[in-house]
Each structure stands twice: as C-alpha cells, then as structure tokens.
Amino acid sequence: MEIVLETNNLEKKYKDFRALNHTNMHIEKGAIYGLVGKNGAGKTTLIRIICGLQEPTSGEYILYDKSNKNSGIITVRKRMGAIIETPSIYGEMSARDNLIEQYKLVGMPSLDGIEELLKLVGLEETGKKKTKNFSLGMKQRLGIAIALAGNPDFLILDEPINGLDPKGIIEIRELILKLNKERKITILISSHYLDELSKIATHYGFLDNGSIIQEITNEELMKKMEHKIELKVSKVKEFVKYFEENKISYEVIDSKNINVYGENNLSKFITELSQKNLIADEIHEKEESLENYYMNLIGGDNDD
C-alpha cells in the first residue's frame, strides 16, 4: 500500500485559536478521499498547508515520501494539482487561453495536451467565448483543467460542487470518477454535499475541531451504514443458532445485543422469530445516511 499523503500531528494556531489540532491523515495511492467536516472544522486550512500556501505551527506532512521539512517537497509538490475555494480564471480570456497561461506558469515545454484537456472537461466547443460568460459549472470544469495542466497524479479539490445545479454536480462527479479510474489520479475532495460525496469516495476522513476523528474505507462505512435490525435478547446463543441455520447476516455486539444486516422486513422478521419461540426484549430498525453517521460520530446537530 503506497501512501501519497500523510500528516503527523499537524497543528496550526492563530493566536489563541487552534485551527488544526494534532491532525493525522493518510491518503492511499488511487483513492478518492472524502474530507468531511463542518464549517470551521479546519478543512481549508489543512488543504492550504498541504499545498504549501501556509506553514504548520508544528507537526509535519509527508507528500510522496518527502517531508515538508525537506527541500525536496518543492519537487514532489509539482506532482499535485489543486483548486482551493474558487478556480483562478482570467475572465476576459477564453478557456484555451487560460490553459495556455497556466502551461506557461508551470513551465510546460510545449502546448501539447491543451486540446485534450479541453475535451476531457467538456469545453472543446467554447472557442473564443470569454470565461466570464461561462456558467458556474463550466468555470469549475475549467478550474479542474487548469489544475491538471502540469499532469499531476494527485488532485486536491476544495468544495468543487459548491453552488452548482444538479446538472453541474453530475458533470463534476463524472469528471472526478473519470480522472480517478482512467488517469489513475489520486484525489482529495472536501465537500458539504455528503450524499454526493458518498457516490464517489473510496475513503473518508472525518474532521472535527481540527482533528481527524476517524478514517474509514467506503466498504467499512457501508457496512456500518447498511440497513440493520438491532436486537436486545437474553439468549444470544439461541438467536445465533437460528441465524446460522437460515444464513442470516448478523453480528454479536455483546452478551445481550445482536445486529442483523440486510433488507429484512421488520414485521415478517419478528413473526418468523416468534414462530421459533425467539422473543427479543427490544427491537430497533436503523438505516443511516452519511450525514447522520457523521453527526452521530461527532455528536450534535448539523449547523452548516
């Protein structure tokens, strides 16, 4: 398992305010890593530090095996592209001219690849149209093209679908998946749209008060979030025997609690148990969304 980015006890203080607090994060090569956190949790501060726009107060981050304390970080950072908050676009220029300027900025030896990038983000037909007249979705896609100008294999996107209409959201989602699957680009994406994030992320980092409180794969998260029936029983062994005989997916939590997974009809399930003389003391049906999972994890109400 190759780690593209790792942070170790990263801290950022502004006088008496601690924006990042011993933040530890790990992003595997090939992942789409969803960074989840409320406003003020420290997402943008973390991203700005990783991109070299701010210095941490303490701790370190390691990008492609190079510590930020090593001069080699400058070289490996060239393998990274990013959009932080809003894309940097020259409104009086066309999409193509914006890309030409970015090519010059990152020191690309030729203009080869610009047409391919425009086609990749669906802007090949915009011609000389000034980008100030683009829709928000078009501007976001151009921003991603600009971030890709140096052929990075690690892309950081800070709230890339913020303010977009449903069509724009779908376009960005499909573009992110395409970059990850076809170009093998590792992606760190922060977003408030947790339902949308759940459609693309392979890994998650949950950030609260400047700390990563949990890192989890999508598979692990789906297991925790899937439809389940929680049983409180007095005879765990008898229930387990029934579940084994009927090939019902279950998990023994402790001496009195069992979770049953899968799309079981609750009324039918209870009837079937009672027919076998299996009576639970308590039964609860649960199905979580990513948003509910996060809010339960940090405790409290969503104030975004």
pTM (whole model) above 0.75: yes
Q: pLDDT tens across 269-280, in order?
A: 999 999 999 999
Q: Average the pLDDT over each of 87-96, 196-205, 222-231 and give the range with the smallest value.
A: 222-231
CA distance 157 to 177: 13
Q: pLDDT tens across 62-96, in order?
A: 999 999 999 899 999 999 999 987 788 999 999 99
pLDDT at 182 over 80: yes
Burial code of 105-125, b = ≥16 C-beta within 10 A, e = fewer?
A: eeebeeeeebeebbebbbbee
Task: Say which residues have a Cβ less than 8 Å from residue 120's Cβ, sequence separation at least 6.
Answer: 145, 148, 175, 178
CA distance 150 to 133: 26
Q: What local confidence, expressed as pLDDT, does residue 300 receive? A: 61
